[in-house]
Amino acid sequence: MMPISIAFVRTLLSAENELGSRSILGMSAAGGMFLIGFLLFSLIYIAFRIPSQPYIFGHELTHALFGLARGANVSKFKVKEERGSVKVTEGGILVLLSPYFFPIYMVALLLFFGSVSLAFPLLDTTMGKIFAGLVGIAWGFHFCFTVNGMLQRQSDLEVYGFFFSFSFILMMNLLALCLVFVAISPFSLSEMYALWKEMMASSLLWFWDAFCNFLWPEGAN
């Protein structure tokens, strides 16, 4: 998953660079507002004690939704001040790790924006910029609480092993960021996919070269 994650990072940077505009923080309007929203929530999270119950509710709800998508039975949905739980009859990596890479509140915001955009074009407008900032705040909420949760003992991460789970979560979050970039900017999904394929090919070549050099260093007998 390492070369895939590297390709996603390079794709995001290249997509931002290709937009050309440098109107906010030296970035495109969408990228700059998203970053401002993310930093704003991160500072608030560090400075104040934000109740974790909304995150816990979203965490358990995401487990339940992914379980329902697999045809599982969901029961015993409980959310308390510091912890929550839900019983899902069907497991699997997506059901187990979904709350760590599926920002449910941000997805709800994107769906609302998408619905409004069907009637009123919002990209590259003042409302579109405000929306990008709100998406950044929602991503900050997901990022801060997810990182805090992963630093504590989580049984979800122990099933497949922490190293594998962390790698998978990182890869899926980077994929989510690529899709978010498409949603808040003029960059199309087909353009993002074409760019990712190009970056993926070079990332695989780099990874293979680094792997071979690690096993057989140059100059070694």
Distance of CA 202 to the CA centre of its chain: 23
Q: What is the pLDDT of residue 152?
A: 80
Q: What is the pLDDT of residue 219?
A: 52
What phi, psi does 85 have (nearest 5°)? -160, 155
Q: Is 86 left (phi over 0), alpha (psi -120 to 50) or beta?
A: beta
Distance CA 179, CA 188 (A): 10
pLDDT digits (tens, 9 = 90+) for 5-41: 989 999 999 988 888 777 777 788 888 899 999 999 9
Q: What is the pLDDT of residue 135?
A: 94
| Residue of higher predicted confidence among 91 and 170 | 170
Q: Indicate the average pLDDT of the chain.
A: 86
DSSP label at residue 27: B
Compute the average pLDDT of residues 139-164.
Answer: 86
